[in-house]
A and B are shown apart, each in its own frame.
Chain A
Amino acid sequence: MGVGAMTDVTPRKIKVLLAKPGLDGHDVGAKVVVRALLDAGFEVVYTGLRKTPEEIAERAKEENADVIGMSILSGSHIPFAQRFRKLWDEYNLGTKLWLIGGNVPKKDHGTLKDIGVDAVFATGSKLDDIITYIKEQTARWPRN
């Protein structure tokens, strides 16, 4: 991008990768969130079902996503988050927001945050809260 064009350029949209890790097939919530984020002006890539941690890390890198969201309803959020965290450096994912949604009991939120998850939006969360959180957290991120 030429310097002269800088003033006219609108920053590119925040890009969210929304993933369904593991074997869980409950995708109603994930797809609702995809639509809400699209309507809120984000760029959204949805992986579809049954992705391995490696596939999600690879995709996040390839898409240069700003945000990685994962929807897990089977109860396997902790083992999955642990496996994904190990790939973070290997795939050189750098600074990204990492969000987990789904059936996550409150007592597990701390454990997920210790692993490195930035925020948990459990079942019952409001779409607006997810949107606001992403906007606030990424407001100062340079993107062009």
Chain B
Amino acid sequence: MAPKLDGETTGLHRSRALLGEKLPPGLKPVFSEAGIELKPVYTAADIGRAGDTLELPGEYPFTRGIHPEMFRRRPWTMRQYTGFGNAKATNERFHYLIKNGQTGLNVAFDLPTQCGLDSDDPAAEGEVGRVGMAVDSLRDFEVAFDGIDLDKITVSLTINGSAAILIAMYLAMAEKKGFDVEGLRGTAQNDILKEFVGRGTWIFPVEPSIKLVGDTIEYCARHAPKYSPVSVCGYHIRESGCDPVEEMAYAFCIAKAYIDETLKRGLAIDDFAGRLSFNFNIFGRIFEQVAKFRGGRRLWAKILKEEYGATDPDNMWLRMIAGGGGFGLTIDQPENNIMRGAYYALIAALAGAQTVALCCYDEAYTIPSPKAQRISLRTMQLLIEEMGLCDTVDPLGGSYFVERLTDQMEAEIEKTMARVDELGGIVTLIADGRLQDHVSRQAYEHEKKVESGEIRKVGVNCYRIEEDELDVEMHPTKPEDLALQLASLKAVKAERNEPEVARTLDRLRTDARAGLNTMPAIMAAVKAYATVGEMTKVLIDVYGRYQEPIRFAAE
């Protein structure tokens, strides 16, 4: 039965494509995760055009890839998610991964940092350094990136609620270390709308949260034009239960909300659109996943060109980081996750992802161990070095099946986006909790199907063995990490110029109240070593706190 929003049929579930012909006797119909019926075999008639009419990679609308030579020119960036304890411990892990051939960094922050709390805040008790690196002030960034060449290794910050502050810290740190901020590359996740749907590290209400994202895009467009201030995440909404079509559709709707916010500030689409990137999930059916990315890439280019009037191809490209996540992995027989991860990496390569953050086998239940991280890194290196995945661009291009599915995915994503707009738009659906309700119902339906065996999950509801009673290892936390972090915070506070801190925080308050772009004031406060918690408190005073809508509509 199709999920509903508030008792009303949403239409977010799509009509199932008909085969138009009867299945051979004895075969049951098969549907993709997004509800597209799959034929046992495809022919030239299915794509309604000859293969040689397909555009080349690097040509609009970029179905086959955003660059002409893709991985022949340069393999995808390998960017494993890392960070724990304090800045010093994280810096050591960064150097370990770079030494092992990792080509980009993807920083995990602890929950207090993500929620805008200092390490000495009572609400941070038990959480400091647990699921990522603790950051209180610019000092922590100086230590974390010590000895790393930021011109060669690009850094991605997985930060959302407090992203404006951490982007400012990254830019200030780079400037202090002598890098040219005008040419500095890097990414911040900074997609707050998806945090309201999944992941949950929101701080401020919806409207000011979008305003802050606009502040970072505008500021970077003007002062750090190579920096990508937002990575819009279909990833976490998919992780919260939605299907692959919805993953792309909601991400595109959210990206459009940020674009619209930025256009209001007088920037032209070609000034910034190319610096928006995407973060998508990989699990499920191999060919549907590849088609999702190919169809999505084509649709995004069309939206940018036709709807927003972008003229530079660079501003129409769907740049993406992709990787598998917890939803596809299982806590049962966790070694199977190594194989799942290998297929996810294959999908990312076949789909032409720019960057891959491959999930680790223990990531279903903890932040990855060094061993698990190395296996994921080696998985990608195997594809690059031994298995020829970089030799030819878009190797599935022209496949009757994949081209047909690409067309269908594109059409379904577009339909879902139109339905979101009819229901009031993505911002409204998120603010009143209808989207969250819709997505969590799907997670529930999925779980019921796994428990009933309707959806097969290897090692979970089939092929189980007696030895399954293996315990999991959680990432260990050390009490001395907390002590070190608290001591470092105390030292920073003792050394800094307090009147300067007070002055910059006052300016932040004044600018936020006046509706000005807050980034210049945040930059000044960061440079004065104001803390994440101090700056967040000022912004909460002005904007208030988000109140989560609790909604569990009856079917």
Residues of A at the B interface (CB closer than 8 Å) are 22-28, 31-32, 34-36, 38, 44, 46, 48-50, 52, 73-76, 79-80, 83, 103, 105-107, 122-124, 126-128
Query: Which B residue's beta carbon lies closest to that of A122?
Result: B331
How far, in whole Å, are A76 and B471 apart by their CA atoms in the complex?
A: 17
How far, in whole Å, are A91 and B200 apart by their CA atoms in the complex?
A: 28
Complex interface bits, B117-137 against A, C-beta within 8 A gives 1, otherwise 0: 100000111110011000000
The 3 closest A-B pairs by CB, nearest first: A25-B200, A23-B111, A79-B126
A-B contact sample (18 more), CB < 8 A, given A25-B111, A27-B440, A36-B444: A25-B198, A26-B199, A28-B198, A28-B241, A28-B327, A32-B444, A34-B552, A35-B552, A36-B448, A38-B552, A50-B200, A74-B111, A74-B130, A75-B130, A75-B474, A75-B477, A105-B473, A123-B364
How far, in whole Å, are A105 and B334 apart by their CA atoms in the complex?
A: 13
**10 cross-chain CB contacts under 8 A:** A24-B111, A28-B241, A34-B552, A73-B365, A76-B130, A103-B472, A105-B472, A107-B471, A123-B331, A127-B447
Choose among A28, A83, A124 the residue with the greatest number of B CB atoms under 10 Å from its CB: A28
Interface size band for B: 35 or more
B201 at the interface (CB under 8 A from A): yes
Given known A-B contacts A35-B441, A79-B126, A27 and B111 have beta carbons under 8 A apart: no
Q: How far is the CB of A69 from chain B (nearest CB, A)?
A: 15
Given known A-B contacts A50-B115, A75-B475, A124 and B332 have beta carbons under 8 A apart: yes
How far, in whole Å, are A103 and B477 apart by their CA atoms in the complex?
A: 15
How far, in whole Å, are A127 and B127 apart by their CA atoms in the complex?
A: 28
Q: How many A-B residue pairs have CB under 8 A?
A: 104
Interchain CB contact under 8 A, B451 and A28: no
B191 at the interface (CB under 8 A from A): no
Interchain CB contact under 8 A, A25 and B366: no
Complex interface bits, B232-244 against A, C-beta within 8 A gives 1, otherwise 0: 0000000111000
How far, in whole Å, are A24 and B451 apart by their CA atoms in the complex?
A: 25
Out of B240, B365, B477, B550, which one reaches A28, CB within 8 Å?
Answer: B240
How far, in whole Å, are A124 and B329 apart by their CA atoms in the complex?
A: 11
B314 at the interface (CB under 8 A from A): no
Query: Which A residue's beta carbon lies closest to that of B474?
Result: A75
How far, in whole Å, are A22 and B123 apart by their CA atoms in the complex?
A: 8
Interchain CB contact under 8 A, B241 and A74: no
Chain B residue numbers with a CB within 8 Å of A126 are 451
How far, in whole Å, are A76 and B366 apart by their CA atoms in the complex?
A: 11
How far, in whole Å, are A52 and B124 apart by their CA atoms in the complex?
A: 10
Interchain CB contact under 8 A, A106 and B471: yes
Chain B residue numbers with a CB within 8 Å of A27 are 198, 200, 440
Q: How far is the CB of B532 from chain A (nearest CB, A)?
A: 13
Interchain CB contact under 8 A, A128 and B451: yes
Chain A residue numbers with a CB within 8 Å of B111 are 22-25, 74
Chain B residue numbers with a CB within 8 Å of A127 are 447-448, 451
Interchain CB contact under 8 A, A23 and B444: no
Choose among A25, A83, A105, A128 the residue with the greatest number of B CB atoms under 10 Å from its CB: A25
Q: How far is the CB of B189 from chain A (nearest CB, A)?
A: 13
Choose among A22, A46, A106 the residue with the greatest number of B CB atoms under 10 Å from its CB: A22
Out of B201, B241, B365, B469, which one reaches A123, CB within 8 Å?
Answer: B365
Interchain CB contact under 8 A, B126 and A25: no
Interchain CB contact under 8 A, B200 and A26: yes
Q: How far is the CB of A55 from chain B (nearest CB, A)?
A: 11
Out of B125, B332, B474, which one reaches A103, CB within 8 Å?
Answer: B474
Within 8 A of A (CB), among B423-470: 440-441, 443-444, 447-448, 451, 460, 469
Interchain CB contact under 8 A, A22 and B474: no
Interchain CB contact under 8 A, A32 and B123: no
Query: Which B residue's beta carbon lies closest to that of A21?
Result: B126
B548 at the interface (CB under 8 A from A): yes
B65 at the interface (CB under 8 A from A): no
How far, in whole Å, are A36 and B240 apart by their CA atoms in the complex?
A: 16
Chain B residue numbers with a CB within 8 Å of A35 are 440-441, 444, 552
